[in-house]
Amino acid sequence: MIIRNVRILGGEPADIRIEDGAIAEIGPDLPGSGGGDVDGQGAVALPGLVDLHTHLREPGREDAETVQTGTQSAARGGYTAVHAMANTSPVADTAGVVEQVWRLGREFAHCDVHPVGAVTVGLEGRQLAELGAMADSAARVRVFSDDGRCVDDAVLMRRALEYVKAFDGVIAQHAQEPRLTAGAQMNEGVVSGRLGLTGWPAVAEEAVIARDCLLAAHVGSRLHVCHVSTEGSVEIIRWAKSKGWNVTAEVTPHHLLLTDDLVEESPVGAYNPIYKVNPPLRTRADVEALRAALADGTIDIVATDHAPHPVEDKETEWSAAAMGMVGLETALSVVQEAMVETGLLDWAGVAQRMSAVPARIGRLGGQGQPIEVGAPANITLYDPSVRTKVDPLAFASKSRNTPYEGMTLPGRVVATFLRGRPTVLEGKLV
């Protein structure tokens, strides 16, 4: 098969020949393959995107998402691999559960599924989970996280960091000091004061990140910081990196675009729980700092934190609503809007931060490789020239809780190829 007329990382037009799931030849006007060619129509070709932070909800909350629908959503967003977070029911804290998710991925998924293992039993923060057994299982777990909860016990966090060194694992921390955020509803600041909602102070995130950077350095292990949301967090991570410590960090698309004043005034009214998310949307100054940090490499990657919720859990009063937003199908468009249209990143920079580096942090062998001869044919074709209104009813995800409904965003995923096999063509699932 030949993918014709694409611009690799936005460069000159070229054709890509695929044989046996790998890239066999790249060049202008390649001789015909005898049918089955795909017209790339001048789209930008990116290496298949890799998400380090996806909630697929299966097992346990199949009303919100399943491995099948979540990975359909991923494929439509241009992803060829996702890491499935551990806060399922039952929690993915044993070799048995991570193997169950891994098998569901092999059977039903439209992209590769790599289970994340819980750090502590039941996400309870009291006892380390079977990290070694999960690493040795068929799922080959390398990323461990209690995401949704913070591993706030410093002794447990130290032990977890020490433990994963044996198999080159990483602890992905959801940094949220629980006492400082008890009952918190939104970012602590001017807007929360006006609205009378309990504030979620930046220091609750920053204090945990600082402690964990010090712990990771102390034991010589790998730390990954989930969904960084404040300017202060960026400064701490920049400092840790300047020391040469093994710390990586992610930012979500929504923290690159949206601010906390949407809770007070937005196209969908005040107090709309569509904007309720953990960590909360912050201020314009935080957004600017996060964009600059992603551009200069202080923040390594974009991760979606795709968090599907059924209507009844979101369309309720603010204080009772679930926290989280779906994000897989809009991620690339939001990154184009926040980072590419602003001149902060080019397509090579986007490919690094949404494919190559997340694959490296997750220790995925066959993903995140550049589009070159010999590499697996994991390819996303993206047309950045169109602008479309976000329609949640068109999502492949089972859930519709997007903060971008009705917004006009740039770009569209035209096609996604997983080891040469199309999962999306003409913007539609295959």
Q: How many residues bind Zn ion (CB under 5 A)?
A: 2
Minimum CB–partner distance for residue 148 and Zn ion (Å) = 6
User: Which position's Cβ is nearest Zn ion?
Assistant: 174
Catalytic residue of the set 93, 112, 305, 313: 305
User: Measured from the CB atom, is 173 or 336 closer to Zn ion?
Assistant: 173
CA-nearest of 111, 11, 43, 47 to 414 is 43
* Torsion of Cα atoms, 234 then 81 then 64 then 150, to 10°: -30
**Residues whose CB falls within 8 Å of the CB of residue 7, separated by 6 or more in sequence, listed in order:** 13, 14, 42, 43, 44, 45
Residue pair 147/176 in contact by the 8 Å Cβ criterion: no
User: Binding mask 147-186 vs Zn ion (x if CB under 5 A, - otherwise)?
Assistant: x--------------------------x------------
Window contacting Zn ion (CB under 5 A); options: 4-12, 145-153, 248-256, 329-337: 145-153
Minimum CB–partner distance for residue 303 and Zn ion (Å) = 10
Window contacting Zn ion (CB under 5 A); options: 119-127, 146-154, 313-321, 385-393: 146-154
User: Measured from the CB atom, is 17 or 83 closer to Zn ion?
Assistant: 83
Give the separation between CA 5 and CA 2, rounded to whole angstroms: 10
Residue pair 308/70 in contact by the 8 Å Cβ criterion: yes
User: Measured from the CB atom, is 278 or 416 closer to Zn ion?
Assistant: 278
Site for Zn ion contains 83 (CB under 5 A): no
Rg (CA), the chain: 21
Q: Is 305 designated active site? A: yes
Helix (H) / strand (E) element for 285: namely helix 284-296
Minimum CB–partner distance for residue 71 and Zn ion (Å) = 20
User: Measured from the CB atom, is 16 or 236 closer to Zn ion?
Assistant: 236
User: Measured from the CB atom, is 183 or 269 closer to Zn ion?
Assistant: 183
Minimum CB–partner distance for residue 174 and Zn ion (Å) = 4
Residue pair 392/405 in contact by the 8 Å Cβ criterion: yes
Type of residue at 33: S
User: Binding mask 94-133 vs Zn ion (x if CB under 5 A, - otherwise)?
Assistant: ----------------------------------------
CA-nearest of 91, 53, 60 to 74 is 53
Please tell me whether residue 94 adopts helix, strand or coil conformation: coil
Minimum CB–partner distance for residue 171 and Zn ion (Å) = 13
User: Measured from the CB atom, is 123 or 335 closer to Zn ion?
Assistant: 123
Give the separation between CA 337 and CA 332, rounded to whole angstroms: 9
Minimum CB–partner distance for residue 145 and Zn ion (Å) = 8
> Which position has the token pair 């569209």?
412
Give the separation between CA 137 and CA 357, rounded to whole angstroms: 24
Catalytic residues: 305
- Rule CB under 5 A: which residues touch Zn ion? 147, 174
